[in-house]
């Protein structure tokens, strides 16, 4: 069976994944500057990889994209790519490719469901697709690290802290207060958004993914499906969808 290479260029790192059919066989996060060399090595190690897809919200140089295209039958995901849903977003050209991939993953894994996909990464994105596979839009808010950094960057005296689950809603020191404000703020936001959607769509399916998904999932009140590979699986589905067209 042929293998697919998934290249997800994010704000901080590049995630590489190899799928055989729908099964994830390999995953690695690499520095942007190392991307092409590692991809070339993957091709040499796994010559069965013939197809590839690039999703880039970060900066991958055009010369590197062209070099990758010489190694594989390459699909570069953008607003013109054929997708398995009706896009009702008012500004479809500005819809991030990462959000497109998440929506496609939900359609593939939870067909004919009203689905809210929450991606807790640099930003927290909310994306909603109906049971009729209509994408309506969602929301974007600052992620956990952005909130910690903002408190440090935009004030004179607040320290930059690493993420930590607060033990109490009442912070008894400045550090405890920051942890309580940031983490409880994010948790209350996510639970609140889910509840707001459930009022309109009681049969709502909720997926949580992204770098902070594992950190947050056990603390949320709402019933969710946590899947750290959801975006990569969506990109693989888009690639297969376009190959079958």
Which residues are catalytically annotated?
Answer: 98
Q: What are phi and psi of 168, to 5 degrees?
A: -150, 150
Pinpoint the alpha helices (H) of 97-227: 97-109, 144-153, 174-179, 185-200, 213-217
Give the C-alpha separation, 147 to 182, whole Å.
Answer: 6
Beta bridge partners of 41: none
CB 206 within 8 A of CB 113: no
Give the C-alpha separation, 122 to 72, whole Å.
Answer: 30
Please identify which residue in the block is written with the tokens 């990464």: 121
Beta bridge partners of 234: none
CA neighbours closer than 13 Å in the CB half-sphere of residue 5? 31
Instruction: Compute the C-alpha angle 148/35/52, nearest 5°.
Output: 110
Torsion of CA 210, 204, 223, 166, to 10 degrees: 50
Distance spanning both ends of the chain, measured CA to CA: 19
């Amino acid at each position: 069976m042929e293998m697919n290479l998934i290249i997800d260029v994010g704000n901080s790192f590049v995630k590489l994944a190899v799928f055989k059919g729908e099964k994830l066989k390999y995953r690695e996060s690499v520095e942007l500057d190392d991307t092409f060399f590692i991809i070339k090595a993957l091709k040499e190690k796994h010559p069965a990889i013939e197809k590839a897809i690039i999703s880039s919200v970060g900066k991958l140089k055009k010369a590197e994209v062209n070099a990758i295209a010489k190694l594989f039958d390459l699909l570069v995901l953008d607003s013109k790519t054929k997708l398995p849903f009706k896009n009702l977003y008012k500004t479809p050209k500005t819809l991030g490719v990462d959000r497109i991939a998440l929506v496609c993953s939900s359609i593939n894994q939870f067909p004919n469901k009203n689905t809210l996909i929450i991606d807790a990464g640099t930003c927290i994105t909310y994306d909603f697709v109906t049971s009729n596979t209509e994408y309506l839009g969602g929301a974007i808010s600052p992620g956990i690290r952005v909130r910690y950094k903002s408190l440090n960057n935009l004030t004179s005296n607040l320290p930059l802290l690493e993420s930590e689950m607060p033990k109490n809603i009442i912070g008894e020191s400045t550090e405890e207060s920051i942890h309580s404000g940031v983490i409880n703020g994010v948790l209350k936001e996510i639970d609140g958004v889910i509840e707001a959607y459930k009022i309109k769509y009681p049969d709502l399916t909720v997926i949580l993914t992204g770098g902070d998904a594992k950190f947050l999932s056990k603390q949320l009140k709402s019933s969710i499906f946590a899947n750290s590979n959801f975006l990569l699986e969506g990109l693989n589905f888009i690639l297969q969808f376009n190959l079958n067209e």
